[in-house]
Amino acid sequence: MEEIIKFIKNADKAAIIPHIKADGDAIGSCLAMRAALERMGVPAVIYVEEPVEKRLQFLDENIAVIYKGEPTDCDTCIVLDCGDLTRVNLRRPILDAARCVVNIDHHKTNTFFGDANHVEPEISSTGEILFKLFGEMGVGLDKEIAKFLYASICSDTGCFAYSNTSPQTFRAAAELIGYGIDHADIARQLFDCEDLESELLKAELTRRIHSYYNNRVRIVAISEEETEKYGMKPEDIQDLVNLPRRIRGTEIAVALKQYDGKIRGSFRSNGSADVAAVAQVFGGGGHTKAAGCTIDAADLDSAEKMVAEACGRVLI
Ligand code: 5GP
Ligand code: MN
């Protein structure tokens, strides 16, 4: 960690970058990093590419700037929870303009694209890595930073339910709760607070889950028109993969989401199948039990066929 600490401490102004379509871990980590830098007297700006998901907006009034290609004067760029440069996407000029790029992540497919890299795939979340990092850096925690870190960890562990939750994860969470944060509210905002339209859409999509390999693989797919019909935005259907994931017997759950003319795949493994390997077939990546990719296919049906075949190959 020494190298990244040196780079972070030398920053005059920092750009903080989460992966595209940032999730709770990515946004919580960015907010915690920004708050920590501000406590150290270093100004910092979080740059995203698209509006932050509605369910994360309770975290802060002013989360991020939507980057439109404008020049930045940030000498240090801290990329959080982002496995490779395709996930930095259009914000690449911010990295190019910076004197140094710091890459802090927990994806096992991380490509070490930074000038300094800290990647720990066995840690639950980037938030949990930052919890350790702040301890080593001597950044004192407070209620605000604790809230951001707790939200990160809670988000990537499915509220401490997934197998990536370790004794250290619980120790970090216990310490964070000690700062007086409203952890029940954080859990509810992240996992238990849906718009009615979204629930209606999910009800319809549940009827259309397709099953393969004796129900071991279940796939749900949604077109751009359907998303629009229900007044939803792509960021509102981020967790669609949970529909097939929750059904008894599912070993690999897949959601195929068409938006901006692209097809995005989300994969979850309930058993021992490695879905990062499936995502990598299509140029994506992630973790053994949660991964994603962009699929180059003419339409949703052909994407589903290719994905079902790739899933079949990793079933054990
Ligand atoms: P989700 O399905 O929630 O979008 O993503 C699941 C996990 O896989 C997350 O940890 C996410 O960062 C990672 N992931 C999603 N899409 C991609 C991708 O296109 N490339 C890589 N390398 N990782 C991805
Ligand atoms: Mn993460």
- 94-148 per-position pLDDT tens digit: 999 999 999 999 999 999 999 999 999 999 999 999 999 999 999 999 999 999 9
> Could you give the CA distance from residue 95 to residue 93 in angstroms, rounded to a whole number?
5
Split at pLDDT 50, 70, 90, the class of 237 is confident
Split at pLDDT 50, 70, 90, the class of 235 is confident
Residue matched to tokens 């796939």: 219
What is the rounded average pLDDT of the residues 229-256? 92
> Could you give the CA distance from residue 154 to residue 189 in angstroms, rounded to a whole number?
11
Q: What angle do CA 10, 12, 16 make, to 5 degrees?
A: 95
What is the rounded average pLDDT of the residues 32-45? 98
> Could you give the CA distance from residue 236 to residue 77 in angstroms, rounded to a whole number?
28
**Helix, strand or coil, per DSSP, at residue 188:** helix
Q: Is the CB of 258 under 6 A from ligand 1?
A: no
Q: Is the CB of 286 under 6 A from ligand 1?
A: yes
Residue 10: per-residue pLDDT: 96
Statement: residue 40 has pLDDT above 80:
yes
Q: Ligand 1 pocket test: pick from 87, 126, 191 the residue with the most ligand atoms within 8 Å of its Cβ.
A: 87
Q: Is the CB of 291 under 6 A from ligand 1?
A: yes
Percent of the chain with pLDDT over 70: 100
**pTM value?**
0.90
Looking at the chain, how many residues does it have?
316
Q: Is the CB of 294 under 6 A from ligand 1?
A: yes
Give, using CA atoms, the residue closest to atom 17 of ligand 1: 292
Please identify, by atom number, the ligand 1 atom nearest to the C-alpha of residue 19.
12
Statement: residue 6 has pLDDT above 80:
yes
Residue 247: per-residue pLDDT: 98
Residue 270: per-residue pLDDT: 96
Q: Is the CB of 83 under 6 A from ligand 1?
A: yes
Q: Which of 28-42, 172-186, 192-206, 270-284 has the lowest mean pLDDT?
A: 192-206
Tally Cβ neighbours within 10 Å of residue 254: 29
